[in-house]
Amino acid sequence: MAAARARGIAPEEWLDLSTGINPQGWPVPPVPPQVWQRLPEAEDGLEAAAHACYRTRCLLPVPGSQAAIRLLPTLFPRTSVAMPAPLYAEHPLAWQAAGHRVLFCAAGDLEAALATDTSVLLLCNPNNPTAHRLESAELLAAARWLARRGGWLIADEAFADAEPECSIAPLAGTAAHPNLIVLRSPGKFFGLAGLRIGFVLGAETLLARIAARLDPWAVSHPARWAAAHALRDADWQHANSARLRADKAHLVEMLLPLAEDAAPMATSLFVTLRRADAQELFDFLGERAILARHFPAENLLRFGLPGTTAAWKRLAATLSEWSLPHA
Q: Residue 91 class from Cβ within 10 Å (0-12 exposed, 13-18 middle, 19+ buried)?
A: buried
What is the structure's pLDDT at 51? 97
Residue 186 gets which letter from DSSP? T
Do 155 and 180 touch, CB atoms closer than 8 A?
A: yes
Instruction: Kindly report the average pLDDT of the chain as a whole number.
Output: 94
Long-range contacts of 80-83 (CB under 8 A, 24+ apart): 80/116, 80/117, 80/118, 80/119, 80/120, 81/118, 81/120, 81/121, 81/122, 82/113, 82/114, 82/116, 82/118, 82/120, 82/121, 82/122, 83/113, 83/121, 83/122, 83/123
What is the structure's pLDDT at 102? 96
* pTM score of the predicted model: 0.95
pLDDT-derived band at 1 (thresholds 50, 70, 90) equals low
Q: Residue 140 class from Cβ within 10 Å (0-12 exposed, 13-18 middle, 19+ buried)?
A: middle
Fill in the amino acid letter for 141: A
What is the structure's pLDDT at 324? 76
Determine phi and psi for 196, rounding to 5 degrees.
55, 60
Question: Taking the mean position of all CA atoms in its chain, how far away is CA 242?
Answer: 19
Domains of the chain (ranges; CATH) run 2-25+235-326 (3.90.1150.10), 33-232 (3.40.640.10)
pLDDT in tens, 61-113: 999 999 999 999 999 999 999 999 999 999 999 999 999 999 998 876 788 88
What is the structure's pLDDT at 265? 94
What is the structure's pLDDT at 323? 85
What is the structure's pLDDT at 43? 86
What is the structure's pLDDT at 42? 84
Do 184 and 198 touch, CB atoms closer than 8 A?
A: yes
Is the predicted pLDDT of residue 321 greater than 80, yes or no? yes
What is the structure's pLDDT at 304? 98
What is the structure's pLDDT at 114? 85
What is the structure's pLDDT at 116? 79
